[in-house]
Amino acid sequence: MTAVEIPSPAAGEPPAAEPRAARAAGITLVGQALRIVIQFGSIVLLARLLLPEDYGLLAIVLVVVGIGEIVRDFGLSTAAIRAPELPRSTRDALFWINTGIGAALCLVVVASSGLLAGLFDRPALSGIACALAGTFVLNGMATQFRVTLTREMRFRPLVTADVLAQAAGAGSAIVLAVAGAGYWALVAQQLVQATVALVLVAVPAGWAPGRPRRTPGLRPFLTLGLHLVGTQLVNYAGNNVDTVTIGLRLDPAALGLYNRGFQLLMTPLNQLRSPATAVALPVLARLQGDRERFDEYLRRGQLALGLPIVVTLGVVVGAAEPLVQLFLGPRWSEVTPILALLAVAAASQTLAFVGLWTYLTRGLGTQLLRYTVGTALLRLVCVLAGSSWGVVGVAAGYALAAFLEWPLSLWWLSRITPFPGRALAGGAARILACAVPAGVAARLVCLFANPLPLAVQLLLAGLAGAAVMAVLAVASRRIREDLGGVLAFGRSMVRR
C-alpha cells in the first residue's frame, strides 16, 4: 500500500479531543441550521423573482468555477489541517501558493470566457464568467485563515463568518432581483458572499502573512495536495456530468429546473455534511495510532450523520411534491421527480461519507484517486444512459450511480486499509431499514392529505416518519441502541 506520508500524532493521545470535537460539532450545527434557514429563504424568494433560464446560465459557469476552486485549493487546506505541526513560515508559504493559484485562475477564466460562451452558444456566459473569476482570488486568500481556525478548533468565529457571509450574499441577490437585475443578482450573491467571508475569517485568525519566500518542508504538503487535486477533479467531473450533459443536450430552462432541485436539496444538506468532515478530520488524525478508538469514532460518526439525515431524506422522497410546491411555487412543479431522485442519491452519498474521512486522515491519496476514477466512470455511464429520457432520466442515472457507489466504497477501503467495513455495512443497513418505511409512510400521508394546505401536508409527512421511527425503535433493540448513541452524541455537543 502506497500512501503520502505526513507525520501523524502519536498514539495514546488523551481522549479530550473527542468531547471537544462534539462541542465543536454542536456549534457548527447551530451555524448550519442558520445557514439552511437563510438558504431556504433565499431559494423561496428568488425562485419567485427569477426565471429557470437565469439559474441555468449561472449553473453552467459554476461548473467551471467549481473546477477552478479545486485547483485553487490544491488540496493544501486538507494537508495543512491534518499536519501535526504547521510552522508560521509554512503557513505563510501556503497562503501565497493558494493566493497565487487563485490569481492565475482568475486570468485564465477571463481569457477563456469567450470560448465558454461559444461552446454553449450563450453570449451572456462571457460576462458572468469574467465577474465570477474574482472569487478565485478572494477564496484563495481566505483558505489558510480557515485552516488556522479549523486546526485550533475555533469553530465559533468560522461559523459566524459563514452565516453572515451567506446572509449578506442572499440579501444582495434579493435586492437586485427585485430591481430586475436577472441573473446578475445571482452573480452578485457569489461575489458578496466571498468578500464578506474573507474579511470575517481573516480578522479572528489573528495573523497576517509574511512576504513570499523560499520555505523548506513544503514537499509533503504539495505531494498530498497533488493527489487530492487529481482525486477532487475526477470526482468533480463525475459529480457534474449531469449538469454538463443537460447543458449540452437540452437547454438552459431544463438545466434551471435541475439546478433548482439540486440546490433545494443538496445545498442545505452539504451545510451539514461538509462541517461534519471539518470536525472529524482533526479528531481522526489524533486517533490514527489507536485502531479501536478510530473504528469506534467512524461507527459513531456514521450513525450520528446518517441516521437523522438519511431518514429525513426518506421523508423528502415521499413528500417531494408538497415540498416543491411550497418552497419553489407552482411553476416549478417539474422539479418534483428530480428532487425525489436526488434525495435517493444524497442518502447513498451520506452513507459513504465516513469512507472519505478514512482516505483523508490516513493520507491514502493514490488509493482515493483510483477509487474516484472508477466511480466517476460509473456515474458517467449512468447519467449518459439516463439522458435519453430527458432531465428526469439524468436524475435517475445520478441516483443509480450513487446507490451503487456506497457499498463499493466500503468494500474497497476494507481491502486497502484497516477499516470496520462489516460494522459500517450493518449500520448502513439499519439506517436504510428506518428510512425506507419512513419515506413510504410520508408518501401515503401526502396522497391522502392532498386537499390540505401544503404546510400541513409536510407536517403530517414528518410526523408519519417520526411515528415509523418510534415503532421501529420499540421493535428492535439495535435500532434503540443506535438512536441512543445519536442522542448521546447530541447531548455531548451542547455540554460545556
Give the mean pLDDT per block of 10 residues along the chain (496 residues).
36 44 62 76 81 80 78 74 74 85 89 84 87 89 85 80 91 91 89 93 84 72 70 70 76 75 76 69 75 84 87 94 86 87 91 83 77 85 88 91 87 85 88 94 92 91 93 89 76 50
Q: Which of 250, 259, 242, 233 is nearest to 59 (CA)?
A: 259
Based on the structure, what is the number of domains in the chain?
Answer: 1
**Gyration radius of the chain over CA positions:** 22
Task: Decide if 26 is inside a domain.
Answer: yes
The amino acid occupying position 363 is G
Task: Decide if 216 is inside a domain.
Answer: yes
pLDDT of residue 460: 94
List the Cα angle 388/391/397 in 5-degree steps: 70
Residues of the domain holding 60: 13-239
Name 285's Cβ contacts closer than 8 Å, sequence gap at least 6.
8, 9, 81, 82, 84, 361
As a dihedral over the C-alpha atoms of residue 301, residue 304, residue 310, residue 315, rounded to 10 degrees, the angle is -170
pLDDT of residue 484: 82
pLDDT of residue 494: 47
**Dihedral angle sign, alpha carbons of residues 390, 393, 399, 400:** negative
Upper half-sphere CA count for residue 343 (Cβ side, 13 Å): 26
pLDDT of residue 2: 34
Please state, in angstroms and rounded to a whole number, the distance separating the CA atoms of residues 41 and 39.
Answer: 5
DSSP assigned state of 214: -
Please state, in angstroms and rounded to a whole number, the distance separating the CA atoms of residues 54 and 63.
Answer: 15
Task: Decide if 220 is inside a domain.
Answer: yes
Task: Decide if 235 is inside a domain.
Answer: yes
Task: Decide if 207 is inside a domain.
Answer: yes
pLDDT of residue 458: 92
Please state, in angstroms and rounded to a whole number, the distance separating the CA atoms of residues 16 and 50.
Answer: 49
pLDDT of residue 341: 94
Task: Decide if 494 is inside a domain.
Answer: no
Task: Decide if 91 is inside a domain.
Answer: yes
CB–CB of 89/215 below 8 Å? yes
Task: Decide if 230 is inside a domain.
Answer: yes
pLDDT of residue 441: 95
Over residues 447-486, the pLDDT tens digits come to: 998 888 898 999 999 999 999 999 998 988 888 888 887 7
Please state, in angstroms and rounded to a whole number, the distance separating the CA atoms of residues 211 and 234.
Answer: 34
